[in-house]
Amino acid sequence: MLYLSRKIGESVIINDDIEITVVQVRGKSIKLGFTFPADVSVLRREIYERIQEENRAAAEAGSDIVDALLPETKTP
């Protein structure tokens, strides 16, 4: 993991097309601004993890439905 110190108004550039700027520091909270191409997805970690869990649950439920509809063919 890379650690950087930045002040308000300073930025970090990633892959020539993603810019992260420190916008505000207030107590223990830091506000960041992101500039990135429209085809790039940026999610907060807790949202990303929730989506991953919901996808896993949907995949498991999907295999249960297939097993119920086609009992002679069990999915792995």
Alpha-helical segments (H) within 1-76: 45-69
pLDDT at 74: 55
pLDDT at 61: 73
d(CA 22, CA 6): 7
Domain assignments of the chain as residue spans, ordered by start: 11-69
Under the banding of pLDDT at 50, 70 and 90, the label for residue 59 is: confident
Average pLDDT (8-18) is 97
**pLDDT over 70 percentage in the chain:** 80
Average pLDDT (48-74) is 77
pLDDT at 76: 59
Tokens representing residue 5 in the block:
């110190």
